[in-house]
């Protein structure tokens, strides 16, 4: 049986998806609760897409520039933003409200992505 990846947003309204159930494919046991994204899934969608292109281009900045139609300084800014957000994720802690607001101020994250992250944190509390 082929399964699609979990969408990060509702296909109808665009709001973030919240997983509330997990089922084992072996024994079919089911666990219910509220499960927030982990790892790279916690990054804003624009960063996830950038990482996919960056990896597909094997880190070749010229190819990333061509494929995404963005400049070298923009790529560096994206990488700085991703690295900043990943530090919190890899530490296993949610980004603080201040870190999220600072990311907006630096231009590392859009206001919409920040709002989504803050909403997801609130639902997980």
Q: How many domains are contained in the chain?
A: 1
Higher-scoring residue by pLDDT: 20, 113: 20
Mean pLDDT, residues 44-53 taken together: 87
Domain annotation covers residue 33: no
Q: Which domain holds residue 103?
A: 38-124
Domain annotation covers residue 3: no
Check pLDDT > 70 for residue 6. Answer: no
Q: What is the pLDDT at residue 67?
A: 94
Higher-scoring residue by pLDDT: 76, 11: 76
Domain annotation covers residue 111: yes
How are beta strands 30-35 and 19-23 bridged, if at all?
Answer: antiparallel
Domain annotation covers residue 47: yes
Report the candidate in 103, 123, 98 with the shortest Cα–Cα distance to residue 113: 103
Query: Which pTM was predicted?
Result: 0.56
Banded pLDDT at 93 (limits 50, 70, 90): low
Domain annotation covers residue 4: no
Domain annotation covers residue 32: no
Query: For 83, which DSSP code?
Result: H
Domain annotation covers residue 98: yes
Domain annotation covers residue 53: yes
């Amino acid at each position: 049986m082929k399964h699609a990846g979990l969408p990060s947003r509702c296909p109808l309204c665009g709001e973030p998806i919240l997983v509330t159930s997990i089922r084992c494919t072996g024994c079919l046991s089911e666990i219910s609760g509220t499960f927030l994204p982990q790892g790279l899934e916690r990054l804003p969608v624009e960063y996830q897409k950038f990482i996919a292109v960056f990896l597909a281009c094997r880190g070749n900045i010229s190819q990333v520039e061509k494929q995404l139609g963005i400049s070298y300084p923009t790529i560096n800014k994206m990488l700085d933003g991703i690295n900043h957000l990943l530090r919190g994720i890899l530490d296993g802690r949610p980004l603080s409200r201040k870190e999220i607001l600072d990311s907006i101020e630096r231009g590392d994250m859009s206001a919409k992505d920040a709002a989504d992250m803050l909403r997801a944190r609130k639902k997980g509390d």
